[in-house]
Amino acid sequence: MDFRPLFRVAPGARVSLAEINPNAAAVGFDAEDKAAVKSSLERYREEMESFQYRLYADGSKSLLVVLQAMDAAGKDGVIRHVFSAMNPQGTRVQAFKQPTPAEAARDFLWRAHLHAPARGEVVIFNRSHYEDVLVVRVHELVPEEIWRARYEQINQFERLLSSNGTKILKFYLHIDADEQLARFKKRLDDPNRHWKISESDYTERKFWPDYIQAFEEAIEKTSTEESPWYIIPSNQKWFRNLAISQIITETMREMNLTLPMVKVDLEAVRQHYHAAKSQAEKIKQSSL
Amino acid sequence: MDFRPLFRVAPGARVSLAEINPNAAAVGFDAEDKAAVKSSLERYREEMESFQYRLYADGSKSLLVVLQAMDAAGKDGVIRHVFSAMNPQGTRVQAFKQPTPAEAARDFLWRAHLHAPARGEVVIFNRSHYEDVLVVRVHELVPEEIWRARYEQINQFERLLSSNGTKILKFYLHIDADEQLARFKKRLDDPNRHWKISESDYTERKFWPDYIQAFEEAIEKTSTEESPWYIIPSNQKWFRNLAISQIITETMREMNLTLPMVKVDLEAVRQHYHAAKSQAEKIKQSSL
């Protein structure tokens, strides 16, 4: 099943998250599919590894994956369960936290640009430049005219990356407020997760409708042909991982990644090999 | 079996690579052990993932792994087969290639320092600052007095990192010249690997004894208590991966990594949770 047409936000489309069911069942998957899903996931993991190898070898294109979501929606889980399929050589995770003084002293796209993928690389942004139209908007950290101008600035920035060979995929991990609360409860019940708890988990919930509104507008204004947003039903982790793996796999398949052309004269190299081989034999003979 | 005492180079010890057997059989492992090895490797992978999680969560220490070896000895293979066990979030591979102009304009440790692990990170150096006493020495890219001074500069640099909470492990992947030639032959025989072939594979072989000498002296001069070298028999890939995984696992175990202390008042958070829960119930009731 190709989830891309199902979850992709068409350019210019209106987004109403309240109307999108965050449960896997809404798209015909339920808990009984879990075992089948596991084997699909394993197949996608193998394909992703293979495509990433070719991307790395080819060295002319790159892949940028942006993960955004409410707290506890599973950004870290996606990185652990999906991107662990790829070779750590050539795969890089960049987390965007509170800007450092050096970052805050520049425009909001400066640090995103700094961490853009090099040719051959897969880079995952755990949060991203979109924070500057999300948390920044919700908490009114800059005036509206500033954050409102950013949608177009983001589109221009992403077009620049695309035109340079970077494929961009943006995922919004969609959970509902009840699911978030259930996950917070798990943190409370498991002493191994206590260190993750912060009071802001709860204080930020008051802004839930504001965040939803900010996400909706950001997704509407920045889902483009070259740089689409996907809204992934994420109440069920196994389904979320399946859908993202499938979308990445099929996107990379369409990148037509091939191994680079041979750069040397193979016949000359074969002669090098035979010379080296017979020299090695000679040394072995003489040491007998 | 703990490979650490077997393969670690004691500070001040003389190193003669010709006297070290690069075959697994030399330490009592042979091809029949492969199946058992696979299950051990799986166990180490799980432990490494778990220790890396704690290192990341703890955020006060870091791990730096340096990989050095002759061409085709398996640096890339170790990254793929050992470090893929770790979460890409918190694990970073840094490859050291020909210095860029910006790098060449600084001292040789500048770029190594730039890429040093942050607290909480595992960083793998694929080649490293050691190239500046290896290829640089063999090809006489700087005068002897310059590269000779570097051993002590390296020791001071690595002591600085250690004193700041970075655990350092350095691996020399030990293969012999025949094994290298056999691996070059595989590249020639497999069209999928042709793009990796370069003539320098063969021209560099002429310098084999010079490289061995450079490795021996570098290892002798820089294997210290805090920053040891391990010489890993690497003719058999499965054994190489096993030994390195075991050494990393046991080293991380001894770092006594614990999950961070709880930073919040759990009772207050539980009250937050119950307030949020009953509010959610109320909303549900009113919408029925």
Give dist(CA A235, CA A23) in Å, integer. 5
* Spatial separation of the C-alpha atoms in residues B139 and B156, rounded to whole Å: 25
**Whether residue B214 has pLDDT greater than 90:** yes
Quote the CA–CA distance of B65 and A61 in Å, as a whole number. Answer: 28
> Which among B181, B144, B153, B170 has a CA at the least distance from the CA of B69?
B170
Full strand arrangement of the beta sheet holding A91-95: A91-95, A122-126, A62-69, A166-174, A229-233
Q: Which residue has the higher pLDDT, B280 or A78?
A: A78
Here the tokens at position B223 are 């294997």
Q: Is residue B33 predicted with pLDDT exceeding 90?
A: no
CB atoms within 10 A of CB A255: 16
Q: Smallest Cβ distance to B269: which of A91, A199, A277?
A: A199
- The answer to whether A64 touches A116, Cβ cutoff 8 Å, is yes
Taking alpha carbons only, the member of B121, B114, B116 closest to residue B86 is B121
Measured in degrees and rounded to the nearest 5, phi and psi for residue A52 equal -65, -35
- Which residues of B, range 219-278, sit inside 8 Å of A by Cβ? 259-264, 266, 268-270, 272-273, 275-277
Q: Choose, out of A195, A201, A208, the residue to mutate when testing the contact with B (most B CBs < 10 Å).
A: A195
Question: CB–CB of B88 and A84 under 8 A?
Answer: yes
pLDDT, tens digit, 9 for 90 and up, residues B146-201? 999 999 999 999 999 999 999 999 999 999 999 999 999 999 999 989 999 999 99
- Counting one residue from chain A and one from chain B, the pairs whose CB atoms sit within 8 A come to 125
Q: Is the pLDDT of residue A27 over 90?
A: no
Position B61 pLDDT exceeds 90: yes
Average pLDDT on A146-175 reads 98
Nearest alpha-carbon partner for A87 in B86, B126, B84: B84
Phi-psi region of B94 (alpha: psi -120 to 50; beta: other; left: phi over 0): beta
Average pLDDT over residues A248-261: 95
Which H/E stretch holds residue B42?
A: helix B34-58
Question: CA of B52: which chain A residue's CA is closest?
Answer: A80
Q: Which of residues 118-147 of B touch A (CB under 8 A)?
A: 124, 126
- Which pLDDT band holds residue A84 (cuts at 50, 70, 90)? very high
Contact criterion met (CB below 8 Å) for B134 and B215? yes
Neighbours of B165 (CB within 10 A): 14
What is the C-alpha separation between B52 and B58, in angstroms, rounded?
10
| Contact between chains at B181 and A126 (C-beta distance less than 8 A) | no
Distances from the Cα of A95 to the Cα of A89, A124, A172, A257, angstroms: 18, 8, 16, 27
pLDDT at A130 over 90: yes
For A6, the token pair is 């199902």
Q: What is the mean pLDDT of residues B65-85?
A: 97
**The pLDDT of residue A261:** 85
Strand B122-126 to B91-95 pairing: parallel
Touching check for A194 and chain B: CB below 8 Å?
Answer: yes
- Distance between CA atoms of residues B25 and B236, nearest Å: 9
- Name the band, by pLDDT with cuts 50, 70 and 90, for residue A95: very high
pLDDT band at B30 (very low <50, low <70, confident <90, very high): confident
**Contact criterion met (CB < 8 Å) for B177 and A262:** no
pLDDT at position B265 is 92
Which residue in chain B is spatially nearest to A87 when comparing CA positions?
B80
Question: Does A87 contact B80 at a Cβ distance shorter than 8 Å?
Answer: yes
Residue A283 pLDDT > 90, yes or no? no
Q: Taking a C-beta distance cutoff of 8 angstroms, is the pair B3, B28 a contact?
A: no
Tell how many helices (H) and how many strands (E) occur in chain A: 12, 5
Q: Which site among A272, A279, A287 would you substitute to test the B interface, given the most B Cβ atoms closer than 10 Å to its Cβ?
A: A272
Mean pLDDT of B262-266: 89
**Mean pLDDT score of chain B:** 95
CA distance B149 to A85: 42
- Closest partner CB to B79 (pick from A87, A197, A264): A87
For residue A263, what is the nearest residue in chain B, using CA coordinates? Answer: B195
Give B-chain residues touching A80 at CB under 8 angstroms: 87-89
Q: CB B199 to CB A264 under 8 A?
A: yes
3-state secondary structure of B182: helix
Over residues B79-97, mean pLDDT: 97
- Chain B hits for A201, Cβ within 8 Å: 269, 272
pLDDT computed for residue A237 by the predictor: 95
> What pLDDT band is residue A243 in, cutting at 50, 70 and 90?
very high
Q: Kindly report the average pLDDT of chain A as a whole number.
A: 95
Q: pLDDT band for B220, please (50, 70, 90 cuts).
A: very high
Distance between CA A30 and CA A24 in Å, rounded?
A: 6
A93: closest chain B residue by CA: B89
Q: Residue B72: left if φ>0, alpha if ψ -120 to 50, beta else—which one?
A: left
Q: How confident is the model at residue A31 (pLDDT cuts 50, 70, 90)?
A: confident
Average pLDDT over residues B116-126: 98
**Region of poorest pLDDT, from A3-17, A128-142, B190-204:** B190-204
Overall average pLDDT of the A114-133 stretch: 98
pLDDT for res B251? 98
Q: Is the pLDDT assigned to residue A115 strictly greater than 80?
A: yes
Instruction: For residue B83, give the nearest of B16, B171, B145, B195 by alpha carbon.
Output: B171
Which residues of A are less than 8 Å from B276 in CB distance? 181, 184, 202, 205
Judged by CB atoms closer than 8 Å, whether chains meet at B88 and A91 is answered as yes
Check if the beta carbon of residue B175 is closer than 8 Å to that of residue B234. Answer: yes
Residue A28's pLDDT is: 85
User: In which element (H, E) is residue B169 found?
Assistant: strand B166-174
CA distance linking residue A125 with residue A95, whole number of Å: 6
pLDDT at residue A153, as a whole number: 98
- Among B88, B177, B268, select the one facing A280 at the smallest CB separation: B177
Q: Which of B57, B79, B273 sits opposite A89 (nearest CB)?
A: B79
Q: Quick check: A79 and B93 CB within 8 A?
A: no
Whether B14 has its CB under 8 Å from any CB of chain A: the answer is no
* Of A32-46, B116-130, B210-224, minimum mean pLDDT range: A32-46
Verify whether the Cβ–Cβ distance B184 to A270 is below 8 Å.
no
Please check the confidence at residue A34 and state whether its pLDDT lies above 80: no
Chain A residue numbers with beta carbons less than 8 Å from the beta carbon of B124 are: 88
